[in-house]
Amino acid sequence: MEQTPILEVEGLCTTFGRGGQTLPALRDVSFTVGEGEVLGLVGESGSGKSVTLRSVLGLARRYGEVTGSVRWQGQELITKSERDLRPIRGRDIAMIFQEPMTSLNPLLTVGQQLVETLQAHTDLSRKARRDRAIEMLDLVGIPAAASRLTDYPHQFSGGMRQRVMIAIALAASPKLLLADEPTTALDVTIQAQILDLILRLSSDMKMGVIMVTHDLGVVAQTCDRVAVMYAGRIVEQGPVRQVLRDPHHAYTVGLMQSVPEGVAPRTQLYSIPGTPPSLAHLPPGCAFAPRCAASTEACLATRPALLRVSEDRQLACFNPKNQTKGCAA
Ligand code: ADP
Ligand code: MG
């Protein structure tokens, strides 16, 4: 697919300090998102997916040190002031958070929150804002949408709150959507509706998407490309069909283990034996080496860089033996 990158992330490093310890949550993360492109971000819990989204949006620097480059339509965001970032958040780049309760304001009605977003980021008239608010609640599958505008977040069930948050994120038609496990809490039918809505906006409005998910079925069905994260780094990325059909990294192979062919919806990531390394005590070499059946001394001693192995695939592995069809490296 021919795409102009709207987001270019290069060498992103995010480090938290906690009790005198340094936690390198992201280490040299690089990727791009094109106009209308859906990039999947997968990996075990704690691998840095949410921190990646928060770092892109300029939220992680409130808690840690963020270095590297995040270019949004050519502008560097890392060095922008909070004031200059504010108009970009919500209007250009919107985020669906993993925890809906922390991002909805409990003191404002759902209608007020939708209208506030539309007021800040669009030129719509008062009447058009109300119509748009109802339309968005309707689109995300909230029954009797018009009558729910005056309800507060606590009057919605967990799944409904998630939908409200998605409605708010999508209301101002952002150019990039950062979706952090957006449908995990929802039932299959609603999940399919919301993914359809996101995909439709992505293709109609050329909205780029970074989709964080634990569900390989969602990746297979919605993403153009996928990046696999392990211990704060991207270890493999490429076109989704190629990566799922022929994973090169032993970690990706592990994730795919329970899904030999034809990934169905609700396919959860396989649990790989062993535990992810503590970020405070990362091994000097490949962070996955202690869990990797194919690891050698080189893997334990030196960290493999993420390198191009074919036209549009990248891999950080010295010893990609575990693949099914031979390696391009
Ligand atoms: P996930 O891939 O599950 O979304 P996260 O990106 O949330 O993982 O977290 C990556 C690592 O960063 C975890 O070890 C987490 O504990 C740590 N982390 C995230 N946010 C903070 C914070 N505000 N302060 C300290 N550590 C954090
Ligand atoms: Mg997360």
Q: In this structure, which residue's CA is closest to atom 25 in ligand 1?
A: 16
CA distance 148 to 276: 43
Residues 86-132 pLDDT 10s: 989 989 999 998 876 678 999 999 999 999 999 999 999 999 999 99
Q: In this structure, which residue's CA is closest to atom 17 in ligand 1?
A: 25
Percent of the chain with pLDDT over 70: 91
- Which residues neighbour 191 within 8 Å (Cβ) at sequence distance 6 or greater? 183, 218, 265
Q: Inform me whether the pLDDT recorded for 261 exceeds 60.
A: no
Q: In this structure, which residue's CA is closest to atom 7 in ligand 1?
A: 50
Residue 128: how many CB atoms within 10 A of its CB?
Answer: 13
What is the whole-number distance in angstroms between the Cα of residue 241 and the centre of ligand 2?
A: 24
Looking at the CA of 55, which ligand is closest? 1
Strands (E), 82-166: 93-96
Q: Inform me whether the pLDDT recorded for 167 exceeds 50.
A: yes
Q: Inform me whether the pLDDT recorded for 199 exceeds 90.
A: yes
What is the whole-number distance in angstroms between the Cα of residue 325 and the centre of ligand 2?
A: 32
Structure confidence at residue 300 (pLDDT): 94
Residue 162: pLDDT band with limits 50, 70, 90: confident
Q: Inform me whether the pLDDT recorded for 19 exceeds 60.
A: yes
Q: In this structure, which residue's CA is closest to atom 10 in ligand 1?
A: 48
Q: Inform me whether the pLDDT recorded for 260 exceeds 60.
A: no
Beta-carbon neighbours within 5 Å of ion ligand 2: 49-50
Beta strands 5-18 and 21-34 are antiparallel
Strand partners, 12: 29
Looking at the CA of 61, which ligand is closest? 1
Percent of the chain with pLDDT over 90: 68
CA distance 124 to 214: 37
What is the whole-number distance in angstroms between the Cα of residue 181 and the centre of ligand 1?
A: 15
Residue 278: how many CB atoms within 10 A of its CB?
Answer: 11
Q: Inform me whether the pLDDT recorded for 200 exceeds 80.
A: yes
pTM of the predicted protein model:
0.91
Q: Inform me whether the pLDDT recorded for 309 exceeds 60.
A: yes
Sheet holding 38-42, edge to edge: 93-96, 176-180, 208-212, 38-42, 225-230, 233-239, 313-315, 307-310
- Walk me through the domains of the chain, giving residue ranges and CATH numbers: 1-92+177-190+205-261+282-329 (3.40.50.300), 103-173 (no CATH)
What is the whole-number distance in angstroms between the Cα of residue 265 and the centre of ligand 2?
A: 20
Tell me the DSSP string of 209-254.
EEEE-SBHHHHHHH-SEEEEEETTEEEEEEEHHHHHHS--SHHHHH
Q: In this structure, which residue's CA is closest to atom 14 in ligand 1?
A: 46
Residues 24-82 pLDDT 10s: 999 999 999 999 999 999 998 899 999 999 999 999 999 999 999 999 999 999 999 99
What's phi and psi for 79, nearest 5 deg?
Answer: -95, 0
Residue 43 Cα to chain centre, angstroms: 11
For ligand 1, residues with CB inside 6 Å are 16, 18, 23, 25, 43, 45-51, 63, 279
Residue 146: pLDDT band with limits 50, 70, 90: very high
What is the whole-number distance in angstroms between the Cα of residue 68 and the centre of ligand 1?
A: 18
User: Angle at which helices 158-171 and 110-121 pack, to 10 degrees?
Assistant: 20
Residue 325: pLDDT band with limits 50, 70, 90: very low
Q: Inform me whether the pLDDT recorded for 254 exceeds 90.
A: no
Residue 20: pLDDT band with limits 50, 70, 90: confident
What is the whole-number distance in angstroms between the Cα of residue 219 and the centre of ligand 1?
A: 22
- Which residues neighbour 284 within 8 Å (Cβ) at sequence distance 6 or greater? 300, 301, 302, 303
Average pLDDT over residues 261-284: 74
Question: What is the best residue among 21, 22, 49, 50 to mutate for testing ligand 1's pocket, by most ligand atoms within 8 Å of CB?
Answer: 50
Structure confidence at residue 3 (pLDDT): 61
